[in-house]
């Protein structure tokens, strides 16, 4: 049995379709229900649906053997897992965005609203710029509009949301996309199953 942690939402659905196409389908998953664990003993797979930012936690602690997670989350949480494949889906960038026309006068610490505090700290430490982190969990774009922060560090896919809120990208920190990760111990004992799945995903990618 191989346990797969899938992120709830669009990315998870898209990866599940790929897995189903290469023989890891689980009919229960396709029904309209609120279950979070799905199993197909015959195919030897179990799916666990979790919050996208928690996927790597499940995998690192061995509650799932493999998982699908964005590189942005891996960079932020630095889990001790194998990162076996770049699936080239869910492509986006972690960026600094500011209100259109904003200039950093460097006269005070820059207030940065973000759900990526570690990534933001490391980015500004590299530029020797003092910052104040304002940790948020959602609607990050709101922060500069209401004066909560000067800039934001967030993922940007098309930039439409930023534009609609009067913000623009001022710096691109790093590119991100979905990665296929595995628990280091599971990999030693279920290597054949994990590699078969990896090969299937690679062929589909």
Q: In the complex, which residues of this chain contact another protein (CB under 8 A)?
A: 1, 41-42, 44, 60-62, 80-86, 183-193, 196
Q: Which is nearer to another protein, 84 or 91 (CB)?
A: 84
Per DSSP, the three-state class of 109 is coil
- Least CB distance to another protein at residue 46 (A): 10
Of 172, 196, 168, 162, nearest to 182 by C-alpha is 196
- Least CB distance to another protein at residue 148 (A): 26
Q: Which is nearer to another protein, 3 or 149 (CB)?
A: 3
Nearest 10 degrees: CA dihedral of 93, 84, 21, 186? -130
Q: Which is nearer to another protein, 42 or 101 (CB)?
A: 42
Q: If you compute the radius of gyration of the chain from its CA atoms, what whole number of angstroms results? A: 19
Of 32, 33, 60, 35, nearest to 47 by C-alpha is 35
- Least CB distance to another protein at residue 121 (A): 14
Question: Residues of 137-173 as b/e, b for ≥16 C-beta within 10 angstroms?
Answer: eeebbebbeeeebbbbbbbbeeeeebeebebeeeeeb
Q: Which is nearer to another protein, 13 or 188 (CB)?
A: 188
- Least CB distance to another protein at residue 36 (A): 19
- Least CB distance to another protein at residue 104 (A): 25
- Least CB distance to another protein at residue 82 (A): 4
Q: Which is nearer to another protein, 139 or 185 (CB)?
A: 185
C-alpha 8/C-alpha 63 separation (Å) is: 16
Q: Which is nearer to another protein, 83 or 141 (CB)?
A: 83
Those residues whose C-beta lies under 8 Å from the C-beta of residue 42, and which sit 6 or more positions away, are none
For residue 189, the number of C-alpha atoms closer than 13 Å in the C-beta half-sphere is 8
């Amino acid at each position: 049995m191989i346990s797969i942690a899938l992120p709830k939402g669009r990315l998870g659905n898209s990866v599940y379709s790929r897995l189903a196409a290469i023989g890891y389908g689980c009919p229960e998953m396709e029904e309209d229900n609120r279950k979070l664990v799905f199993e197909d003993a015959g195919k030897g797979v179990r799916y666990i649906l979790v919050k996208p930012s928690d996927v790597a936690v499940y995998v690192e602690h061995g509650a799932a053997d493999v998982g699908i997670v964005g590189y942005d989350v891996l960079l932020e949480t630095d889990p001790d897992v194998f990162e076996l494949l770049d699936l080239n889906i869910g492509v986006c960038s972690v960026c600094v965005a500011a209100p259109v026309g904003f200039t950093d006068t460097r006269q005070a610490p820059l207030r940065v609203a973000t759900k990526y505090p570690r990534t933001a700290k490391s980015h500004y430490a590299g530029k020797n710029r003092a910052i104040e982190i304002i940790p948020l969990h959602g609607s990050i774009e709101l922060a500069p509009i209401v004066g909560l922060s000067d800039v934001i560090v967030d993922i940007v896919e098309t930039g439409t949301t930023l534009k609609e809120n009067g913000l623009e990208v001022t710096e691109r920190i790093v590119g991100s996309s979905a990665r296929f990760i595995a628990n280091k111990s599971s990999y030693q004992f279920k290597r054949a199953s994990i590699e078969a799945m990896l090969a299937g995903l690679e062929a589909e990618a």
